[in-house]
Structure 1
Amino acid sequence: MSQDPQNIDESFSVDDKTPLWIYVKKTEKISGGGSWRFECNFCNNSYVGSHSRVVTHLIQEGVKGIKGCLKVTPQQRANMKKLLEECKERIKRSAPKVVPLPSSSRKSSSSSLDYDMSYKVPNASESDSKKRKGMSPLEKAFQNEDREQCDGEVARMFYTGGLSFNLARNPHYRNSYVRASQIPGYVPPGYNALRTTLLQKERKNIDMHLQHLKNTWKQKGVSICSDGWSDPQRRPIFNLIAANESGPMMLRAINTHGETKTGEMIAELIIEGVKEVGHENVVQIITDNASNCVKAGSLISAKFPTIFWTPCVVHTLNLALKNICAPTLTTRNNEDVFDACYWIKSISEDVTWIKVMIGSPATTRKRSVCGS
C-alpha cells in the first residue's frame, strides 16, 4: 500500500543507502542487480530502474535516461535532498574508523610502541616516491619502517577478519606474498573474483588432476566409506569418500545440523554418492556399526543387490577393546583390568617387529631382487 506523498513520514522504514524508495511503490523485481519496476507516488507513472533512477526521477539529479517528476513541489524536492544528505552523513558516521598501525619509532614524549597517526591506505605510486626520498643508505638497505608497516597490515588482516593463526602455516600464505613481491603494482583479487571466477578455475583444476583417479573406478572398483565428525565450529558433518587401491577421494562433506540421523537419512546421502560414482563401479559400502548405519546398509543393499555393506573393522575392534577393558562390578582395582588387556602388549610388540623387519634395508633389497 503506497503512502500519501503529501504526508509521508520520512523516518518510516528508511534505508540509509536507498532512502527515496519510500516515495515509490515497488511492483515487480527485475532479475539481476537492484532494479525494480516501480510506480511513482506523485505522478503514478511506472518506470524500471534502481534507486539511482528513483533519485533522478524525483529530484531531477544524477543519472539520465528517466523523465523527471513534474508533480513534486520545490519544498518536497528540498525535503528529499535533505533526507539524502542526512542518510549519507549517517553512513559516513557509521563507517569503520581507520586505526593507525603501530610503529616502534621512538619519540621523546611517547612510549616505545607508538602509533603512526599519518597512516592511510597505501598507494603503489606514493610508496615508490617515499622510498626514493628522505631515506638514509641504511634505511634503503633494510627498509625497516616499510617492513614494520607491512607486517602490521598483515597482522591486522588476521585480527579484523577473525582468521585462524594456523593460516600462517599454510604454505600458500607465504608463497602468495613471495609471488606478489615479484610483480610491481600487483593488487590481490577482490571479493567477487575469489568467490566466482577464481573458485571455478580452482575447482576445474582439481577435477582435472583427479580425473586419472576416477578413470580407475571402472577398472578396479570402488569402496564408499562414510563417517560423521564435527568441524571447528562444532557442526556435525557427514562425509563420503570413494577409495580403491589407486587412492582415496573425498566426494562430499554434508552439514547435517538439525537433522535426525536415521537409517533412511544416511542411506539417502550414501545413495547420492553411489550415483555420482556409478553403482556399477561400487563394490561395497563401509560404515561404522551403529544401528542406524546397519539399517542404512541393508537399505542400500536392497536397492543395489551387487553392493555389499561392510562394517568398519577399526570400529569393531574399538568396540571390542572397550568391552574387554571396561571395569565391571566385580573389578576391585586396576590390576584386574590390566590382566584382561595384557594380551594387547604382545600383539603390539609383534606388529612393531614386523614393521621394522619389512622396512629394513636387507628386506627391501631382497624384495627388489625377487621382484615382489
Structure 2
Amino acid sequence: MSSESEKSTESTAPLWKYVTKLEKASGGGGNVTFRYDVYEESLRRLKKPKLVSLPTDSASSPNLGSIENSAATSHPFFQNKGVGNSPLEKAFNNQCQEQLDSLIARTFYSAGLPFHFAKNLYWIEMIKFATNNNNLVGYVPSGYNKLRTTLLHKERAHIEKLLKSIKETWKEKGLSMVSDGWTDIQKMSLINFMATSEKGPLFIKSIDGTKECKDKHFISDLFLKVISEVGHQHVVQIITDNASVLKAVGSIIAAEYPHIFWSPCVVHTLNLALRNICAPKNSLQNEVLYNECKWIAQVADEATFIRIFITNHSMRLVTFNSYSPLKLLVVAETFALIIITLKRLFQVKQHL
C-alpha cells in the first residue's frame, strides 16, 4: 500500500483511531507493526469485575443503588446513631435488610455456591457478628492472599492446639486404629486411617491406592507407617472389615508389634450376616439356612422388581407420585437397600 493510500484509508476508516503505528526495526526493512489500543482497553475492562445492580436498588434505598455503599451504616441517616423505632427509621432499617439479603443472594448465585451452604453454622455466626457489632463500620473483608496465608496458618495452628488435647489421652488409655477403603466420585480408590479413643475420632491420613495392588503386603506397610507416626506404644488394636487379606494384615501387624491385635468390624459382620439372611445361597452347606430364609429372598426380589418398574417408567412414576406422598428411596447396593425398600413399600401401603 502506498503512503497516499494509507493516509486516505486512515482518514476514512473510523477504527484507525484505535491503532498506533510502531517504528520499523533497525535498518528500515520489514513490515510496519501496529499496537491495537482498543484491544488493550478491552483487556483492562475485562480484568475489572463488573458489578450488576441488585433487585432492591432504587433512588429511595439507603445506598442509592450503589453496591460500594451497600453497608447500612454508611448512609448519613445512621451516622452516630442507632436504628430507632420511628416509622422513618424502621423503613430505612427494612430497606437495609432487604439490600443485605440481595447482596447475600447475589454472592451465592455469582459464585455458584450450593444453597445448603446457607445452613453453615460459621456462615450464620459471621453474618450475626458483622451486623450486630458497631465497631465494624467500614470493615473490608480479608483478601485472597490473606485468606490463603496468614489466616490459614492461624487456623491450622488453632486446630492443632485443639487436637493436642485428644492426642494427650493416647498416652494414658491408648487408641484404636480404624481403616477402610472407599471410592470417590472420580473412581479413585482411597484408603482412610483414623485414630479413635475415649476423646473421639481423629482423622490421620488418606492414601490413594488406585494404581496399587492392594494385597496384604501393601496394606500392612501402610498400617506400619501410620502406627509409627502416632507411636506404636499408644496403639491397642487395628479395626478393619472381615476380608481375608485384612485378616492377614492383622497377623503381620501382630508379628511386628505383639501388643497390637486385629479386630473385625462389627458393622461389616452384621452386613455379612444380614446379606446371608436376605439373599441366602442354595448349597449343601447352607441348605437349612436356605429353606428357612428363601421366602425373604422371594419377597425382596418382588419388592426390587416393583421399585425398578415404577422408577424406570415415567408414566408409572407420575401415577405413583399422584397417589403417594412418599418417594421410593434408592441407596447403595448393600443389605440395607433390601430392608429400606421393604420398609418404604410397607409405609406406602399404609398411606394408600
The answer, yes or no, to whether TM exceeds 0.5 is: yes
Supply the distance in 2 between the matched residues of 1:74 and 1:295 (Cα, whole angstroms).
81
Give unpaired runs (5+ residues) of structure 1: 1-58, 60-70, 108-115, 340-372
Partner residue of 1:127 out of 74, 83, 86 = 74
Supply the distance in 1 between the matched residues of 2:252 and 2:86 (Cα, whole angstroms).
76
CA deviation profile, 1:320-353 (whole Å, cap 9, x unmatched): 22112214459799873389xxxxxxxxxxxxxx
Supply the distance in 1 between the matched residues of 2:210 and 2:109 (Cα, whole angstroms).
28
CA separation of 1:125 and 1:332: change in aligned 2, threshold 3 A: closer
Q: CA deviation at 1:233?
A: 7.1
Supply the distance in 1 between the matched residues of 2:209 and 2:77 (Cα, whole angstroms).
54
Q: If the length of structure 1 is used for normalisation, what is the TM-score?
A: 0.56
Partner residue of 2:103 out of 139, 153, 160 = 153
Give unpaired runs (5+ residues) of structure 2: 1-21, 299-352
Q: Which amino acid aligns with 2:39?
A: E
Which secondary structure state, in structure 2, belongs to the residue aligned with residue 209 of structure 1? helix
Which secondary structure state, in structure 2, belongs to the residue aligned with residue 185 of structure 1? coil
CA separation of 1:117 and 1:146: change in aligned 2, threshold 3 A: closer
Return the structure number with greater helix share: 2
- What residue in structure 2 maps to residue 279 of structure 1? 232
- What residue in structure 1 maps to residue 173 of structure 2? 220
CA deviation profile, 1:241-285 (whole Å, cap 9, x unmatched): 212234322223445556554444433333332122101211211
CA deviation profile, 1:114-159 (whole Å, cap 9, x unmatched): xx99454346599333757xx9953522422222221111112222
Q: CA deviation at 1:293?
A: 2.7
State percent identity of aligned pairs.
39
CA separation of 1:79 and 1:163: change in aligned 2, threshold 3 A: same
- What residue in structure 2 maps to residue 25 of structure 1? none
- What residue in structure 2 maps to residue 240 of structure 1? 193
Q: Which amino acid aligns with 2:266?
A: V
Assess if the C-alpha contact under 8 Å between 1:288 and 1:311 holds in 2.
Answer: yes
Residues 1:163 and 2:121 are matched in the alignment: no
Assess if the C-alpha contact under 8 Å between 1:227 and 1:238 holds in 2.
Answer: yes
Q: CA deviation at 1:176?
A: 0.7
- What residue in structure 1 maps to residue 87 of structure 2? 138
Q: Report the count of equivalent residues.
A: 258
Large movers: runs of 4+ above 6 Å: 71-76, 104-107, 330-335
CA separation of 1:316 and 1:332: change in aligned 2, threshold 3 A: closer
Assess if the C-alpha contact under 8 Å between 1:101 and 1:119 holds in 2.
Answer: no
Q: CA deviation at 1:169?
A: 1.5
CA separation of 1:153 and 1:228: change in aligned 2, threshold 3 A: farther
CA deviation profile, 1:56-110 (whole Å, cap 9, x unmatched): xxx9xxxxxxxxxxx989999x958x36763452352476543322239799xxx
Q: CA deviation at 1:198?
A: 1.6
- What residue in structure 2 maps to residue 180 of structure 1? 130
Q: CA deviation at 1:214?
A: 1.2
